[in-house]
Amino acid sequence: MPNKNFILASGSPRRQQFFKTLGIPFTILVKEVDEIYPTHLKAQEITNFLAQLKADAFTNLNDNDVVITSDTIVWHNKQALGKPKDKNDAFAMLQSLANNTHEVITSVCFKTNSKTEIIYDITSVTFGNLTSEMIQYYITNYNPLDKAGAYGIQEWIGEVGIEKIEGSYTNVVGLPVAKVYEYINKNFL
């Protein structure tokens, strides 16, 4: 490994696990920011803005520091679905996704002393029928409140409810691992 200090600025256990799997040494440092974006932004404009907003919280980087931030949304009916506010919000989100196709968009920002670059990925996800009982079971037995769109594809609801995905599975989990690895390999290794 080159003399790079990769800083993963994410509290997501799923993103942290992906970085462990990649075998790239990293530290975790999260800086709290208000994840508010201009209302005129759409789709990947939102995730690009928020990923950069998180990266901009890091100043005075050392020459070997590489800060990596990320943001994921579910884009459905021309609306961004972030993390639900509560269980009722989660229920409403999942009900709206049933028998529909939506996009999961993740942007990843890489910031060094000399440059800031953003990559993103879009995956199309189609849910089949989700009954009220299925949604309630999922909300009761899993934690949808920390996930964009109120679901984890890797959890029960993904296994029983998703009929089709087009694109990166890991992107739906929260990080387009292949694209991230390709970017790191090309720019830092």
pLDDT tens-digit map of 82-103:
899 999 999 999 999 999 999 9
- Tens of pLDDT, residue by residue over 9-51, are 999 899 999 999 998 899 999 999 999 999 999 999 999 999 9
Selection from 132, 156, 133 nearest residue 144 by Cα: 156
Q: pLDDT band at 157, cuts 50/70/90?
A: very high
Cα–Cα distance for residue pair 165/162, rounded to 1 Å: 8
Q: 105 is written with which tokens?
A: 């968009």
Position 145 scores a pLDDT of 93
pLDDT at 104 over 70: yes
How many domains is the chain partitioned into structurally?
1
Where in the sequence numbering do the catalytic residues fall?
71
Position 24 scores a pLDDT of 87
**Model pTM?**
0.94
What b/e string do you get for 77-112 counting C-beta neighbours within 10 Å, with b at 16 or more? eeebbbbbeeeebbbebbebbeeeebbbbbbbbbbb
pLDDT at 164 over 90: yes
Q: Determine the average pLDDT of the residues in 145-152.
A: 93
Cα–Cα distance for residue pair 151/163, rounded to 1 Å: 14
Q: Determine the average pLDDT of the residues in 162-180.
A: 97
Position 2 scores a pLDDT of 63
Average pLDDT in the chain: 95
Q: pLDDT band at 109, cuts 50/70/90?
A: very high
Q: Determine the average pLDDT of the residues in 138-161.
A: 95
> How many other CB atoms are found less than 10 A from the CB of residue 1?
9
Angle at 23 between CA 31 and CA 143, to 5 degrees: 55
Position 161 scores a pLDDT of 97
The residue range of the domain holding 124 is 5-187
Q: pLDDT band at 1, cuts 50/70/90?
A: low
CATH number at residue 137: 3.90.950.10
